[in-house]
């Protein structure tokens, strides 16, 4: 999942580890075949591939890359020196330390919903102080918070509702980070979080919106938002077009394409 590093949404996922191991194994094999150290080749190849992907992050993250390079370089020097002082190989210690710094940087570098994105979702959900049933019959309160088993609400104020929204949006945020494999701008990420907040991770993962994005076809992805404007009424087996969802999908598509909150 090194592609995720290009957009700063890398999480410590199985796909990321798999891709890293493949590059490391190839590098180690080549090094060993030439009479060198498999370990040096393994670590060197993994770091080289990961660093090359790191520099493909979006423009709004370029500034942080300089500090990333500084920390990685410092880790390389310190790790190599420490290894040499203790009688080991400078390169082994240096590359290992640099790789550790790289990994630590990547696992914490997931994208986050912006404040504008949070307010966008709040605007789409609309505030309700008391419990009500949404179109699908789910008990709901605040800014679209679906009431979970064991939760009991009388009324909530806007501050409390916003806290619930932040918690719920964080779930959607993680889902987008897990599923998107390409570089996103902040407005595109925020639009997808709003979409996922509404439809859920399962529908996101199976959607043409996601498949088009991961294929790099952002124009088609923008058009795909409009397809998700239906809901299943409580007690019904069929889907019904919702005017509210139609408007919401248009707003999300506009945010995704034009950055208009």
Catalytic positions, please? 125
Helix (H, G, I), strand (E, B) or coil at 130: strand
172 CB-near residues (< 8 Å, 6+ apart):
113, 193, 194, 196, 197, 201
Secondary element (H or E) of residue 141? strand 139-142
- 126 is written with which tokens? 């609309």
Beta bridge partners of 115: none
- The CA distance from 65 to 92, in Å, is 24
- The CA distance from 172 to 253, in Å, is 17
Helix (H, G, I), strand (E, B) or coil at 110: coil
Angular region, 242: left φ>0, alpha ψ -120 to 50, beta rest: beta
List, in sequence order, the alpha helices (H) in 142-258: 158-179, 186-199, 201-205, 208-214, 218-224, 243-258
Place of tokens 């912006």: 114
- 243 is written with which tokens? 């005017």
- The CA distance from 224 to 236, in Å, is 25
- The CA distance from 16 to 20, in Å, is 6
DSSP letters of 85-142? HTTS-HHHHHHHHHHHHHHHHHHT------HHHHHHHHHHH--EEEEEE-TTS-EEEE
């Amino acid at each position: 999942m090194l592609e995720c590093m290009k957009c700063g949404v890398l999480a410590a996922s199985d796909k990321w580890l798999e891709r890293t191991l493949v590059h490391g194994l190839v590098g180690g094999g080549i090094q060993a075949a030439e009479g060198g150290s498999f370990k040096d080749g393994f670590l060197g190849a993994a770091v080289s591939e990961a660093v090359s992907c790191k520099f493909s992050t979006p423009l709004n993250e370029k500034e942080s890359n300089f500090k990333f390079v500084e920390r990685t370089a410092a880790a390389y020097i310190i790790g190599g020196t420490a290894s040499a002082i203790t009688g080991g190989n400078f390169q082994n210690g240096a590359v290992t330390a640099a790789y550790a710094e790289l990994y630590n940087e990547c696992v914490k570098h997931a994208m986050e919903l912006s404040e504008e994105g949070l307010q966008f979702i709040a605007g789409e959900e609309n505030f309700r102080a008391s419990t009500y049933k949404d179109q699908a019959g789910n008990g709901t309160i605040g800014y679209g918070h679906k009431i979970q088993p064991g939760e009991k609400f009388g009324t909530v104020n806007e501050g409390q509702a916003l806290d619930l929204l932040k918690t719920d949006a964080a779930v959607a945020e993680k889902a987008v980070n897990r599923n998107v494999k390409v570089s996103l701008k902040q407005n595109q990420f925020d639009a997808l979080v709003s979409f996922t907040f509404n439809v859920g991770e399962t529908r996101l993962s199976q959607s043409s919106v996601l498949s088009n994005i991961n294929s790099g076809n952002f124009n088609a992805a923008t058009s795909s938002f409009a397809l998700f404007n239906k809901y299943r009424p409580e007690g019904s087996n069929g889907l019904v077009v919702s005017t509210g969802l139609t408007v919401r999908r248009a707003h999300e598509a506009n945010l995704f394409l034009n950055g208009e909150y």
